[in-house]
Structure 1
Amino acid sequence: MQVSWDHLYVAVRMLIADEGYHLGQAAVAAGQDARAAWLELGDGKRVEADLVIGADGIGSAVRKTMLPGDPGPTYTGYFAWRALVPEQLLPPSAADILSDRFAFFHMPGGQALGYTVAGAQGELEPGERRYNAVWYRRTVDLARTLTDKEGRTHPFSLAPGRVSAQAKDALIAAARQLLPAAFADVFAAESQPFAQAIFDMEAPRMADGRLALIGDAAFVARPHTAMGVPKAAGDAMVLALAVERGWTPEARAAFEADRMQAGRAIVGFK
């Protein structure tokens, strides 16, 4: 079994009062002066704080503000089709082969893998769980791959429900042709497949005054390293220690030195 992201989100979400969230609003920029730091939201509102932590992922608005000249992420040449299917929707032939197994299929220019995960509410009982499948494929036309059903091109991924019917049909046809039947059945059973492009990224800084970066806002590692969550957790723990020390210049430098070294090592494992 793997981590239930739904369960983890709820557990963390419950630690912060509702007024601490600005739902439905994107953070579009950040800033700072000698008195405070702030986030600018999509509706024009500014939220001030003593410290702004950019944990806003690969497209981080905080990073773009903090490092305006940084080139950002670099596309690696491949992407992933993903499916997350309720276990009861898997055909028995696929469930018998895949459930409770970490399955792999290697092919020229691609790889498929899958494993059982908890249900949406953390369910662990057989039949109540879900199956997570990932199919890595090469493409040079990333813009076409990440164009949604309304014709809008996204920079990094397509969320569930955004894939066009034509792209979904092409995915299933390709899966039937190229993947083992069990994996193809998983993608055929997924009503809302989603896509994730694979990038490399190393930020040259993780702290600047009242701004800090952690997780994929600072370093993006390839999925096969299985280090996205440990990397972000390590960033958060060392950041917390620096904040406890008063976020002094010395504390900031120690945080940055520690996590820059870790991030570079993880991203370097390709």
Structure 2
Amino acid sequence: MVLVSKKPLKKKNPPHWKVHITYNSREHHRITDPIIRQRPDAVYYMFFDDGKRLDINLTHKQDNIKYIKEKLPNCELHEIGVNYLDYYELIANLAQIFSNEKKSHPDHEVIFKINLGTGSKMVAIANMDAHRLWENTQIIYPYSDDYNPAAEAMHQGTIKVAKPPKFEFKHPKTHLIQSIQILYKLKQMPDKFGHIQDFVELRELFHYVYEIYKIMKVKRNEEPRKENSSQYMQLSRSIVDKLEKNWGFIKVKKVGKHKHLYFTEKGLKMAQVFVNYDYGIDLAKIHR
């Protein structure tokens, strides 16, 4: 009897779900050609809207969307107004798109391709940072040798695509971002007296870090007081100090025996970005 060893079955790679993100401007082929080539499953077509003024190139938007629908009738098309001059709104919008698409297609590897060639310079900066912050993102810069600023569409002829490199980008570690999300959600909620406070108590953060989400752990101790003390020390050193001193996202004030955590202006803006992205904790569990 001959024994034949079975080769382990190769794990199948999940199917791709392709998402293309582009920004409206006075362009046609520079926007539509990369989309038609990629044949994405979904397109997010952004246009300028700051709540006061609307995009001056709405005719181009209508023509481009009509063309995309004709060429890719099965592609999902989403039109979103966003302020091209507000960095935090731009990057928060991207975070929301990334999270929504990943949640909607859990059995797929979701790939995001972002067109850097249109929009404003602030749009380009926000998109580059999003590319460095989050995985499965690709950036492209479409252009042509036939460039005429006076023409109806500035880039004409054959559209070429440049792919800028991705360099290392310093950003907070996941447990710090999760802590920012917790602090931000708590700050939005009324306390037991129905008041919205401008601070969060350290003990509230402690509760969610150790007891609800178990983001961090310390070596168990037979004496509860010592274990509790070790947890508070770790929380201060590994999270609170880094958010305050390394990143400048919060300020800590001691009030009696308690510590109050306040967002700085920068920290509040970044919290509004990070709260839109799924970092693996169920924010619906947060309450006061």
Q: Same fold (TM over 0.5)?
A: no
TM-score, structure 1 as length reference: 0.23
Q: Which has the higher contact order (CA 8 A, sep 6+)?
A: 1
TM-score, structure 2 as length reference: 0.22
Larger radius of gyration: 2
Higher strand share: 1
